[in-house]
Amino acid sequence: MSSILIIYSTTDGQTLKICQRLQSVMHSCGDTVTLVDINDAPGADLSAYDKIVIGASIRYGKHRPAVYSLIKNNQLLLASRPSAFFSVNVVARKPDKRQPDTNPYVRKFLRQISWKPKNVAVFAGRIDYQRYGFWDRNIIRLIMWITKGPTDPMANIEFTDWNQVEAFGRLISEL
């Protein structure tokens, strides 16, 4: 049994949903799991946990600046215990972009940070055009049109492979 901290950065809620599934899997393995929003992480005592997981969504090709700050400010702590990182992005809807070494956003992110997590995953996210504001909806539709993705403005499509998420949860429990 371990105490695990999952810090998440979510834009539209899919990363939180993935974290909740990870939490459920890890609980079933006997672990105690705490979820913390990236905005609340500066006040959290990261050293109180046996393992640390950071999960972050992509919007317009970038992780939020708070993700970079968290990693920079806690690099030594992250390196001193079992830790992992996962990214959530819609590019990963394509099976050939669902691995850390084939996902362009994760490859770029890992080059930009000094922390080198041994366990990295990429999960496909969700598109929910009806929830987006005018500009986000149309920009995302344009990006999807360019990348041959769904563009129906009424679409709400979850691309997340929940078996992949659960396997990652079991992997973290076994660290």
Distance CA(105)–CA(111), nearest Å, equals 10
Q: State the pLDDT at residue 59.
A: 86
Task: Show pLDDT as tens, one digit a residue, over the chain (175 residues).
Answer: 899 999 999 999 999 999 999 999 999 999 999 999 999 998 889 999 999 999 999 988 889 999 999 999 999 999 999 999 999 999 999 999 999 999 999 999 999 999 999 899 999 999 999 999 999 899 989 988 998 889 999 999 999 999 999 999 999 999 8
Q: State the pLDDT at residue 43.
A: 82
Judge whether 56 and 15 are in contact, CB under 8 Å: yes
3.40.50.360, 3.30.460.10, 3.30.70.2170, 3.30.70.360: CATH of 3-125+160-174? 3.40.50.360
Backbone torsions φ then ψ of 134, nearest 5 degrees: -50, -55
User: Domain limits of the chain?
Assistant: 3-125+160-174, 127-159
